[in-house]
Amino acid sequence: MSTDLDIIKQLEQTIGKKLTLTNWDEVYWSGYQLNNQQQVIHLDLTYCQLSYLPKEIGQLRNLKVLRFQHNKLTQLPREIGQLDNLEELILEWNKLTQLPKEIGQLSKLERLFLKWNKLTQLPKEIGQLSKLKLLDLERNKLEELPEEIIHLNLEIYDDFEISEYVNEHTDDGRKFLAEMEIETVWDGDECGHGIIGFVSYGEYYESRADLDDLIEDEFKFVYGGVYVDRDVRLPPYEIIAQGKEAIANYYKALKSAEKPLNESKLILIGDGGSGKTSLMKRLLGLNFNPQESQTHCININTLTLQHNGNEIKLHCWDFGGQQIMHATHQFFLSKRSLYLLVLDSRRETQVDYWLKHIQTFGKNAPVIIVINKIDENPHFDLPQQRQLKKRYPNLKHISRISCATQQGMSELQRLIQNTLPDIELLNTVFPAKWFKVKTAITEQAEKTNFTSYEHYVDICQANGITKESEQNTLINFLHDLGLVNHFQDRWLRETNVINPQWLTEAVYTIINAPQLAGTGKLHREHLTSLLDNATYPVRKHDYIIELMKKFELCYALNDNEYLLPDLFPTQEPDFEFDDEHALHFILEYEFLPKSIFTRFIVRMHRDILDNTYWRNGVLLRECACDTIALVEIDSNRLVLQITGSQKREYLAILLFILKDIHRSFSHLNVTEKIGLPDEPQLTVNHDYLLKLAQNGHREYLPPEKPEKSYKIMDLLGLVAPPSETETMQMLQKILSILEAQDIEQDLFDHIDEVVKVNPGMFGLSLDVNALVKKLLRK
């Protein structure tokens, strides 16, 4: 019976090359390693100019690692399936066009590297690799992946270093990695093709947009732990976010037939009076009205274009520009859209405000700036346009027009046509039967605004979608695309809004109601007078209120009264607050979306002290520890001042809530600062203090007053709770706040996700995950 060393000798004769016995710490090509039983466990045949894989390799039954990159291999022999103990197979830089189905017999395989081959498809048996953790398919000719790939349990693989690119070129790259449970990425293959990340299929990332920061056009696309090129057709990320079952439903539905969606949103946004409605009418071929009134709700129309022989539908959403409506944009602005930012050439423009607004809610969606009314100010133009495009890479074009004279309209229409390829939603592939359901719902939306879930199921069954899980996948997909409004919440599930304009108009009508301005107090009876009864029957009023609560636009005082923080009085009331002994903490935003403070008040409303609130501030009290917090908006800052016996603990709770809210925004750059205890107008960056402490510094000298010094650990001690007991109390408080939200997620998982993003927020040395588990046992 041949030993492994005998097989190595046969192999040397076959390939005409001497193989070197190597030690564990040696770097080698054309070599092998032995275990204590003289069995070959590691074989490297790199750069051997082989066009085939010698069959002798199939006899090395104890082989764990096989490296065969940089050869001329065109096919893999069936004998590869005999390597029962193989854990790593590296076949990069060959000429493989297909894999044998026997690849599925490698029951212990954990890592499979196949990049830089010529694979056009994968065998369905790839889904049998139950131990596989890593699959690299970059630089092949794959157009799609087999649906069986969803059976893989790919995991995070942490033998690489975090990419310096991520740290330097994303907004706090390490935070994003932690948030998405991408623990490591690699930036350094020999061709410099960029970032590899490791993601688990089953996770739902609220901040899915953050993943895009790691996957720009020049980088590999990370797909559930599979590394592929961008030209491989993958499910839309709305499907990926739903998990394995949704991906399986998508692939199975594609088997029958498919077609591109060829639809998207065209969102017109800008200050009130800039001419958004007039522009939309001109794009639709309608006449200009010089007396056009300002939009106080929303106008939705459809623009049909021809592009590359296909009919493209752009659903034009014309938003009112009033400040009061900006807080609701997060619910109706979309990442998968084209934005027209309309500016009035006669007035001072807020270009940066609006571009940051779009960037925060629309992520990297393409933008065209449209400077309107140039007939009245023909010399106006935006200065420093080159720098503007550098700051906002999603800014594609700047156009100058007059809706009154139609000057520049033809050029704008050409720019819109040229920008269509940048709208990723247009090319989203729909299974044909899914498309039929979407079409049926769209046709029904012309007759009614909402339908029951049961009726939706009937439509699905009539079009061959009988499986309940596929029905759920589709309705959630349509919701994510903004085509319908569907929620799983107990009070909302049975009503499916199939005309989104019905919902947006209801919300905007309420928040623009004159009788609510200055008080923010909404009585249930108000809806009868505010909303048209034929369009909004009384039986749907509860749905609208529950949806506004879900959107965190309001909270309930009792069964009949609700408060809308966006409509609170602008003037602050009289109240007393001991700011002399307060802890001062500041969150400084590059751009502060108004809705952050609104949602914060909604979540913390049970702590509001003596109805002390106004448009830009609130006074809170934690009764259990008799601690009071004054939270105010100051320009682009949130200022937190806290007094009482447990200032640090209450601060940590407030920061947790704010950072949880932050997770739903993109490009939200926030700097945390601590006010010096005796001179709170002087602040120091919290992260800077942490770095000083980590580097062994003990004293901090404020540059404004270098003659004064502060002990760094004393300053950090102002905001870092020192004990496990105090942290447990905070977690219990947070748990009660989250329970009131009725979030669709395990509460402890929710806490865990936020803590992963901010591991130091409860103290630098505490194991918060262990505390969460302890709290769960209680």
Asked if 324 and 383 sit in the same domain, the reply is yes
pTM (two decimals): 0.70
Asked if 416 and 301 sit in the same domain, the reply is yes
Predicted confidence (pLDDT) at residue 745 exceeds the cutoff of 70: no
In a domain, 765, yes or no: no
Q: Give the CATH number of the domain where residue 472 resides.
A: 1.10.10.10
Copy the structure tokens of residue 750.
């929710």
What is the distance between the alpha carbons of residues 639 and 585, in angstroms, rounded to a whole number?
6
Predicted confidence (pLDDT) per residue in 709-743, tens digit: 999 988 887 776 556 566 666 667 776 776 666 55
Predicted confidence (pLDDT) per residue in 21-57, tens digit: 887 555 457 889 999 899 999 999 988 889 988 888 9
What is the distance between the alpha carbons of residues 421 and 427, in angstroms, rounded to a whole number?
8
Predicted confidence (pLDDT) per residue in 324-344, tens digit: 566 666 666 777 789 999 999
The 3-class secondary structure across 728-754, one letter per residue, is: HHHHHHHHHHHHHHCCCCCHHHHHHHH
In a domain, 766, yes or no: no
Asked if 365 and 399 sit in the same domain, the reply is yes
Residue predicted with more confidence, 416 or 251 = 416
- The per-residue pLDDT of the chain, averaged, comes to 81
What is the distance between the alpha carbons of residues 408 and 707, in angstroms, rounded to a whole number?
61
In a domain, 302, yes or no: yes
Asked if 112 and 201 sit in the same domain, the reply is no
Predicted local distance difference test score (pLDDT) of residue 24: 56
Instruction: Domain of residue 90: give its range.
Output: 4-151
What is the distance between the alpha carbons of residues 618 and 600, in angstroms, rounded to a whole number?
10
Predicted confidence (pLDDT) at residue 520 exceeds the cutoff of 50: yes
Q: Give the CATH number of the domain where residue 95 resides.
A: 3.80.10.10
Predicted confidence (pLDDT) at residue 210 exceeds the cutoff of 70: no
Predicted confidence (pLDDT) at residue 645 exceeds the cutoff of 80: yes
* DSSP conformation class of 214: T
Strand partners, 267: 317, 339
In a domain, 655, yes or no: yes
Predicted local distance difference test score (pLDDT) of residue 160: 30
Asked if 416 and 445 sit in the same domain, the reply is no
Asked if 268 and 352 sit in the same domain, the reply is yes
Asked if 387 and 302 sit in the same domain, the reply is yes
Asked if 487 and 622 sit in the same domain, the reply is no
Predicted local distance difference test score (pLDDT) of residue 225: 52
Asked if 670 and 705 sit in the same domain, the reply is yes
Q: Which residues of 475-499 are buried (b: 16+ CB within 10 A; e: fewer)?
A: bbbbbbbbbbbbbeeeebeebbbbb
Predicted local distance difference test score (pLDDT) of residue 236: 78
CB 402 within 8 A of CB 374: yes
Of 426, 442, 465, which one is at a domain's C-terminal end? 426
Amino acid at residue number 262: N
Predicted confidence (pLDDT) at residue 81 exceeds the cutoff of 60: yes
Asked if 619 and 724 sit in the same domain, the reply is yes
In a domain, 66, yes or no: yes
What is the number of structural domains in the chain?
6
Strand partners, 771: none
In a domain, 75, yes or no: yes
Copy the structure tokens of residue 553.
């636009």
The 3-class secondary structure across 27-49, one letter per residue, is: CCCCEEEECCCCCEEEEECCCCC
Asked if 412 and 282 sit in the same domain, the reply is yes
Predicted local distance difference test score (pLDDT) of residue 471: 93
In a domain, 711, yes or no: yes
Q: Give the CATH number of the domain where residue 712 resides.
A: 3.30.310.200
Residue predicted with more confidence, 156 or 591 = 591
Of 120, 151, 182, which one is at a domain's C-terminal end? 151
Of 191, 215, 234, which one is at a domain's C-terminal end? 234
Asked if 390 and 452 sit in the same domain, the reply is no
Q: Which segment of 148-157, 248-257, 306-315, 535-544 scores lowest on mean pLDDT? A: 148-157
Phi, psi for 557 (deg, rounded to 5): -85, -40
Predicted confidence (pLDDT) per residue in 343-402, tens digit: 998 887 789 989 998 888 887 889 999 999 999 999 888 988 999 999 999 999 999 999
CB 191 within 8 A of CB 202: no
Predicted confidence (pLDDT) at residue 482 exceeds the cutoff of 50: yes
Q: Give the CATH number of the domain where residue 306 resides.
A: 3.40.50.300
In a domain, 542, yes or no: yes
In 535-666, the DSSP E strands lie at 555-556, 561-563, 583-589, 608-614, 617-622, 627-634, 637-643
